[in-house]
Structure 1
Amino acid sequence: MSVGAVTIVSHPSLDLLYEGITEALADAGYVEGENLEMSLENPQGDQATLASIANTFAASDKEYFVAIATPPAQALAQVITDRPIVFASVTDPAAAGLVDSMDAPGGNITGTSDQLPTDQQLQVLTEIDPSVKTVGIVYSSAEVNAQVQAEAAVEAGRQLGIEVLTATVTNSSEVQQAAESLDVDAYFVLVDNTVVSAMESMVQVAEQHHRLLVASDADSVERGAAAALATDYEAQGRQTGEMLVRIIEGADPADMPVELQESLELVINPDAAEAMGVTIPDAVVKKADETL
């Protein structure tokens, strides 16, 4: 059996997704090098390279495909209609044009979504620093999932009495300058592969200007963000792999609802917060699932 997989960039959350997928396949008896040929491609954020990878996969004799993140899912869906595609970490697959609906995908593609409750994420930010009145979001204009999240954050901020300001980038090299352009009290990083791949730039700006930085994945907290209400990406990868197993065993992706991960974890990094001039309150520390 052969599977073609493609991610969008290298960063820990996406790497964990792939690990979880291969673990789920192995648990079901599909082991790479034995009865499974698994190839992973990575365009490192370059759209032209991504399109080339998709076309190469379409012309291949691979039986199944895995797309990690929204741009790879869109690239594969555009050129492969005759074989199953399973995606992981696509925030809004309907808005991305991948499925008819979350409940009834209707085609040859389904998978898992990393949709997160933006209002709860911003609530965590305000619990850490109640003085925050403006929040800055840098997001990739090339990722529809990021645009959807940014719009949701603007509305959630309005409900919480917070003004959310945004700046867009086209690649990771622009992230630092975009963050510097926002005159805000704090930063919030979405599930945005381009920005997450440049998390160190966001952390640097936050520390220099003494602004709180909250992210949407646990790995970013390890890399210097103060906190995150996040998805367990390895668990989501396993969930994605289990969906692929069901398809291999005869299930039709058209009838398989897109799955969400129900469990979220609050991860905090008090030392990172201190570097930003912020002290995480005891009440937040006590309810954290993990403290780094």
Structure 2
Amino acid sequence: MPAALLPAWGQDGSAANVPAGGAGGMGKTPAAVSVLSIVEHPSLDALRDGLHDELKAAGYEDGKTLKWAYQSAQGNPGTAAQIARKFVGDRPDVIVPIATPATQAVVAATRDIPVVYNAITDPVGARLVKSMAPSGTNVTGVSDRLVAEQQVAFIRRVVPAAKRVGVIYSPGEANSVTAKRQMQEVLERQGMSLVEAAAPRSVDVGQAAQRLVGKVDVIYTSNDNNVISAYEAVIKVANSAKIPLICADRSSVQRGATGAMAIDYYTMGRQTGRMVLRVLRGERPGDMASETSDRLDITLNLAAAKKQGATISPELKAEAKEVFGE
């Protein structure tokens, strides 16, 4: 995205879109919150639900004090741009885009409506904000950035002998490209190597996984929405080839990956909801620093580990917040 698309909070520094709730909280007019997700999958759906529940807990009720709109772009950036333009035309009080492509579409479409993003690994690299400090624009939000060193350490705990780590990623998702680059840097410093397999579309995910067979000791997937939306194809390859599948997404473990050290996306949705509430009560997004989630939980699937040839130590199992397939 060109730098010119970085948003500004009004042309004169004033709030160009006054929240329905006002500085004192809920007003007589229902607060309008529009949510755009790049795709539907369990983690992003949990995030959306956490956001909605946080607003509900604060007294915002659908059809009465809250006008809630939600749409998914079904993984299509062009569709995301169309929905973003529609939402901007509706003039809601806040737009909440979920994931990088959705946020890029919204930020390109408005420079004044408050935007509270979520599930973006690298909001600075995606040219959405200049830094994680208050932006001075109409944009703030919550990043799901993961520390690559922690992810590699978890991989080594699950597969101690691993030397070659296969990564499936989407070249068109800035968050996925960033995560791959960071993983490669850390792996190389630790004497390991990364073997990449690109999947530009969801229909390419299974073929990308298949290309890794015979070349890697473990497969790792980040918070790549394109890959997660077609995760059953990755699980099928991992089970058939007996390659341990490690991920950064809790729901993917429940679906059939061996394990993850992951963010709780429902909790992150509640965190995003608290930022939205601040905007509805009159705060300017540009005065609010972007946030990250520091809470990481270990999730394991023992049945999947057996299928994929991984041995889970009693120590790791004891540390897990959730264990499936016992």
**Pairs within 5 Å for 1:124-163:** 124-163=154-193
Q: CA deviation at 1:283?
A: 2.3
CA separation in 2, counterparts of 1:232 and 1:5? 19
Q: CA deviation at 1:106?
A: 2.4
Equivalent pairs, count: 292
Letter in 2 for 1:207: N
Match of 2:69 among 14, 39, 44: 39
CA separation in 2, counterparts of 1:61 and 1:105? 21
Q: CA deviation at 1:288?
A: 1.6
CA separation in 2, counterparts of 1:286 and 1:87? 35
Letter in 2 for 1:15: D
Letter in 1 for 2:276: L
Task: Report if aligned partners of 1:99, 1:106 keep a CA contact under 8 Å in 2.
Answer: no
Letter in 1 for 2:166: G
Range 22-31 or range 228-237, more displaced: 22-31
Long gaps (5+) in structure 2: 1-30
Name 2:217's counterpart in structure 1. Answer: 185
Letter in 1 for 2:109: V
Match of 2:206 among 176, 180, 196: 176
* Structure 1 runs of 4+ with >4 Å offset: none
Letter in 2 for 1:115: R
Name 2:284's counterpart in structure 1. Answer: 252
* Structure with bigger gyration radius: 2
The reply on whether 1:100 has 2:164 as its aligned counterpart is no
Task: Report if aligned partners of 1:64, 1:84 keep a CA contact under 8 Å in 2.
Answer: yes
CA separation in 2, counterparts of 1:158 and 1:252? 42
Q: CA deviation at 1:191?
A: 0.7
Long gaps (5+) in structure 1: none
* 1:54-103 CA distance string (max 9 Å, x none): 11112223221110111111100001111101111111111111111101
Name 1:194's counterpart in structure 2. Answer: 226
* 1:110-163 CA distance string (max 9 Å, x none): 110111112111211111111211011111111101111000000111122210
CA separation in 2, counterparts of 1:75 and 1:37? 22
CA separation in 2, counterparts of 1:111 and 1:247? 11
Match of 1:215 among 247, 271, 277: 247
Task: Report if aligned partners of 2:260, 2:298 keep a CA contact under 8 Å in 1.
Answer: yes
CA separation in 2, counterparts of 1:105 and 1:160? 36
Give the secondary structure class of the aligned counterpart of 1:93: coil
CA separation in 2, counterparts of 1:141 and 1:126? 26
* 1:3-37 CA distance string (max 9 Å, x none): 21100111000000000101111111211111111
Range 188-197 or range 101-110, more displaced: 101-110
Q: CA deviation at 1:197?
A: 0.8
Letter in 1 for 2:233: S
* 1:206-252 CA distance string (max 9 Å, x none): 11111110010111100000000000100000000100000111111
**Pairs within 5 Å for 1:260-279:** 260-279=292-311
Letter in 1 for 2:60: Y
Match of 1:118 among 148, 159, 166: 148
Task: Report if aligned partners of 2:97, 2:106 keep a CA contact under 8 Å in 1.
Answer: yes
CA separation in 2, counterparts of 1:290 and 1:55? 40
The reply on whether 1:285 has 2:317 as its aligned counterpart is yes
Task: Report if aligned partners of 1:100, 1:106 keep a CA contact under 8 Å in 2.
Answer: no
Task: Report if aligned partners of 2:134, 2:140 keep a CA contact under 8 Å in 1.
Answer: no
Name 1:48's counterpart in structure 2. Answer: 78
Q: CA deviation at 1:282?
A: 1.8
Task: Report if aligned partners of 1:11, 1:197 keep a CA contact under 8 Å in 2.
Answer: yes
